[in-house]
Amino acid sequence: MVNIPSSIDDTVPAAEVEDVELYHPHSWWTTYVFSQDAKVIAIQYSLTAISIGLVALVLSWLMRLQLGFPGYFTFIDADRYYQFITMHGMIMVIYLLTALFLGGFGNYLIPLMLGARDMVFPYANMLSYWLYLLAVLVLAAGFFVPGGPTGAGWTLYPPQAILSGTPGGQSGGIILMLVSLILFIIGFTMGGLNYVVTVLQGRARGMTLMRMPLTIWGIFTATVMALLAFPALFVASVMMLFDLVLGTSFFMPAIVEMGTQLQHGGGSPILFQHLFWFFGHPEVYIVALPAFGIVSDLISTHARKNIFGYRMMVWAIVIIGALSFIVWAHHMYVSGMNPNFGFFFATTTLIIAVPTAIKVYNWVLTLWRGDIHLTIPMLFALGFIVTFVNGGLTGLFLGNVVVDVPLSDTMFVVAHFHMVMGVAPIMVIFGAIYHWYPKITGRMLDEIMGRIHFWVTFLGAYLIFFPMHYLGLLGAPRRYYELGESAVNPPSAHDLNVFITLMALTVGAAQMLFLFNLVWSLRHGKEAGGNPWRATTLEWQTPTTPPPHGNWGKELPVVYRWAYDYSVPGAPQDFIPQNQPNPDRLSMENAS
């Protein structure tokens, strides 16, 4: 199984699971709405995630307007500002990035790339989406209740999250947020179990684990991590709900709130932070690993070259996944926890840089001596490399405990995590949409609009977040509605804030062009055919495009090779699909 999968090795083990009869829908409702087909569920997940993501985008504009032009837009008061940053953060991290990578790409690609007819538990898969939708609606309801949504910051640190000095803290806002998270986690667990079992049990004959495309390795590892990490957030949310509604004191010590002694006592605010980051740090990699996997496949396909060091790439994904569970307290160096933890968590955090660096080397070494087609997916992959390397390297500042002390809670942190887990994964999401849209719809996205979208988004986002680090270095704290007069807010910093705001509005506008392209190309895009990128992986080998219910027609595909047989010496074309046997094997089979 650990052989280097190449064109020479074409052994095919027996199928692990029999082909099964799927649930067949009988009506429009069960085909398109309450669908059990992973491809439809994937589209439902993606459209919901993009819709709520647009809300987060608009919120980011409003925040930037306040920071660039403080006090000019009077409807953005301090309460609203904190509500905007909280909702923006939570939506982007959980309801957009996690949902889109796992619920969207996971659902679409796992069965297709593995040669399965569908997920192994289609009914639970359907429930997973509907719970996700419910979670999104509960979250959005926060905007319509008295007092508005919570303004506690996306980390929801108690005690302030449930006290009256915070917007939405003693009203429906925080309750809706916690309930929404609980619903999301229940829904995700249903989907997540599905993804894991499908990867382990639903693969086509010949699709050994070490022949799986890295996209699947990334999504699979991220899902296992999410199944282990989300329960910590679940528990923290339930306990905080109890503290607020039932008056328990899990996270609440004795407190004097605005001159009044509260009934709470004996709880620990730091306990919440440990639970939150035990989830929160793996969460970074839950978003990053699918992006790592997908971008590997984009680079390989569009550079017409096998991914360099496949086995190392797989191990790096697994090792990063495992290590990410013992680095969480690097978010808490100045939280007041025992300072000796700093030695341990700084060491684990910097160790994780090694497998991550190996991944970067292997991406760029895949470009080396490739045949690079500068398609839009490839452009986004290049944009990913630049922004991810930039954001990853600033992580070495913040992970290195003592360096973090002056920089933590400043704009440096905001710039770092936006670059590394905002811009970089979103570059991959865009690249992936341009890459797989032809399979999903049968048509190509428009090339010119795509190029404009790429350049404005990539350069604009870099111009937003690269200079922002220097505001943090200067000392400007994050989560300030306004900095006002201060040594860390000279006039030049104000000018930089204006510039960043203008860039943010520009990058936002470019996303409107992207949305227009998505809709316009549905009807007017070029016909794509079944395999426009001449790719090796199974989803491009379906009998019809878009793939039908059940994906494969009568016969399931059989896999003879790894996913990266590009430019194999002596092969007639520069790619050999995974389900294509070697010529000598074919002639043997014909002879017998």
Partner 1 sequence: MAVVLILVLVAFASVLFHLLSPWWWTPIASNWHYIDNTIIITFWITGFVFTAVVLFVAYCVFRFRHKPGNRAHYEPENRKLEFWLATVTTIGVVAMLAPGLFVWNQFVTVPSDATEVEVVGQQWLWSYRLPGANGKLGTSETRDVSTENPLGLNKNDAAGLDDIIISGGELHVPVGKPVKMLLRSIDVLHDFYVPEFRAKMDMVPGMVTYFWFTPTRTGTFEVLCAELCGVGHPQMRGTVVVDTEADYQNWLQQQQTFTQMMAGEVQTTN
Whole-number minimum distance, CB 257 to partner 1, in Å? Answer: 6
Half-sphere exposure of 144 (CA within 13 A, CB side): 5
- Interaction mask 117-156, partner 1, x per CB under 8 A: ----------------------------------xxx---
From candidates 574, 583, 587, 588, binder to partner 1 by CB under 8 A = 574
Cα–Cα distance list, 394 to 98, 102, 388, 412 (Å): 23, 26, 10, 9
Q: Which of 559, 585, 563 is nearest to 204 (CA)?
A: 559
Q: Does 498 bind partner 1 (CB under 8 A)?
A: no
Residue 73 binds partner 1, judged by CB under 8 A? no
Are the beta carbons of 156 and 89 closer than 8 angstroms?
no
Site residues (CB under 8 A) for partner 1, limited to 170-209: none
Question: Residue 22 corresponds to which tokens in the numbers above?
Answer: 């799927």
311 binds partner 1 (CB under 8 A): yes
Could you tell me which of 301, 322, 114, 286 has the C-alpha nearest to residue 209? 114
For residue 510, state whether it binds partner 1 (rule: CB under 8 A). no
**Residue 294: left (phi > 0), alpha (psi -120 to 50), or beta?**
alpha
Site string for partner 1, 237-256 (x = CB under 8 A): ----------------xxxx
Using the minimum distance from each CB to partner 1, give the nearer residue, 104 or 149. Answer: 149
Contact flag: residue 3 with partner 1 (CB under 8 A): no
Specify the residue, 108 or 560, whose C-beta has the smaller distance to partner 1: 560
Bridge partners, residue 256, by sequence: 261
C-alpha pair distances (Å), 196 with each of 125, 232, 395 = 12, 19, 30
- Residue 257 is given by DSSP the state E
Minimal distance, residue 569 CB to partner 1, in Å: 6
- Of 61-69, 331-339, 428-436, 515-523, the segment contacting partner 1 by CB under 8 A is 331-339
* 308 vs 436, beta carbon nearer partner 1: 308
The smaller minimum CB distance to partner 1, of residues 552 and 566, is found at 566
Q: Which stretch binds partner 1 (CB under 8 A): 91-99, 285-293, 377-385, 419-427?
A: 377-385
Structure tokens at 462: 């870099």
CB of residue 556 to partner 1, shortest distance in Å: 27
Q: Least distance from C-beta 362 to partner 1, angstroms?
A: 8
Question: What does the DSSP 8-state code read for residue 256?
Answer: E
**Residue from 45, 82, 279, 285 binding partner 1 (CB under 8 A):** 82
SS3 at position 75 = coil
> For residues 440 and 438, what is the distance between their CA atoms, to the nearest angstrom?
6
List, in sequence order, every residue forming a beta bridge with 566; answer none if it has no partner: 575
Q: Which of 113, 181, 229, 303 binds partner 1 (CB under 8 A)?
A: 303
| Number of chain positions touching partner 1 (CB under 8 A) | 115
* 578 forms part of the interface with partner 1 (CB under 8 A): no
CB burial of residue 299 (10 Å; 0-12, 13-18, 19+) = buried
